Amino acid sequence: MFDVLKLGDTGNNVKILQEKLKILGFYNPIITGSFGLSTMEGVKAFQNMVGLDDTGVVDNETWDILYEYTEPAISPISLFPTLRYGSSGSYVEDLQTKLKNLLYYTGEINSNFDLETENAVKRFQLNNKLTSDGIVGDRTWDTLNILYGNLEDCAIENEIKDDTESYTVVKGDTLYAIARKFNTTVDEIKRLNNLTSDVISIGQVLKVPKPSDQTSYSSYTVVKGDTLYAIARKFNTTVNELKSINNLTSDILSIGQILKIPSNTSVDIPTYLNYIVVKNDTLYSIARRYNTTVDEIKRLNNLTSNILSIGQVLKIPT
């Protein structure tokens, strides 16, 4: 797939490596394309988390697992051609239309794959954990079509019935706190408001789901080793039910993904969520993020010190 990378290497493959490490929380500096000490430490931390020898050298096995964590397979077959800078025609027009409706492209729909279109593709790929090379291949088409399809479904639903209400952000609000308040998920609020990050500002007006007397849901955070089948058994529900309420089109899950779980199951839903420790996390920063205390996190996880390790899974009170 890619050449073996090590300390001192440079080039586009190093940029791709840094992007993927940044997505997973193992690299914080800017994307430089130069394999320096920060990149090597990120590689070592990732290798350690997935059980590889932490050599700091990106070999084929490291590349494979890195892609597995950052680019879930969606569909092996695509009916769309590969597009890149310089392409033109009806497929480019279709691409620009979908990117514009998803708020990634602001230019004219002119059927020409120009620099502005390429930059919009890169932003879309980066936000959706794809390789941000600006080339629209099978994975990018599949992800784009699924998200655009969801957007169209949402538009149809809104024409039939508006099931949202407005909420104005106040001081101290976070997406997580708002999601808890309205018995929904952070991902659902981001979808309703076309948000691409978790950053919100005081006075910002958000769409949130209206309270419903029907089935309510709890949230579950996917951890390493989870499958839909295992989660369905754990919460006394079915794989099809989980896929239906979470709008899943495949059985593939990613670590850290938040799922809705029907709360009318016959088992007790845990009163905590699972959180995966990433680089630079501390008990204090995690406690602040989730509006709890260091002592409560230590008690819930039977911790005797404040030391954390990357990849460690913590229970966070909800």
- Beta-carbon contacts of residue 60 (< 8 Å; ≥ 6 apart): 1, 4
Assess whether the region 12-70 and the region 90-156 belong to the same CATH fold: yes
273-317 domain in CATH 3.10.350.10?
A: yes
Q: Are strands 313-317 and 272-276 parallel, antiparallel or unpaired?
A: antiparallel
- Domain ranges (residues) in the chain: 12-70, 90-156, 163-208, 217-267, 273-317
Using alpha carbons, list the distances in angstroms from residue 9 to 14, 116, 237. 7, 29, 49
Q: Whole-structure pTM over 0.85, yes or no?
A: no
- Please name which of 167, 172, 177, 169 lies closest in space to residue 318, comparing C-alpha atoms: 177
How do residues 150-189 score in pLDDT, each as one tens digit? 655 555 445 444 577 888 888 888 888 888 878 888 888 8
Q: Tell me if residue 20 falls in helix, strand or coil.
A: helix
Per-residue confidence (pLDDT) for residue 160, from 0 to 100: 42
Per-residue confidence (pLDDT) for residue 262, from 0 to 100: 77
Top-level class of domain 90-156: mainly alpha
How do residues 65-85 score in pLDDT, each as one tens digit? 888 777 654 444 446 788 999
- Beta-carbon contacts of residue 134 (< 8 Å; ≥ 6 apart): 84, 85, 118, 119, 121, 122, 125
Cβ burial of 293 (10 Å; 0-12, 13-18, 19+) is middle
Query: How far is it, in rounded angstroms, from Cα 220 to Cα 227?
Result: 12
CATH architecture assigned to 12-70? Orthogonal Bundle (1.10)
217-267 domain in CATH 3.10.350.10?
A: yes
- Across the chain, which has 318 residues, the per-10-residue mean pLDDT values are 83 86 84 90 90 91 83 53 89 90 87 92 85 85 77 50 76 84 85 86 84 64 83 83 82 84 55 79 87 86 88 82
CATH architecture assigned to 163-208? Roll (3.10)
Per-residue confidence (pLDDT) for residue 43, from 0 to 100: 93
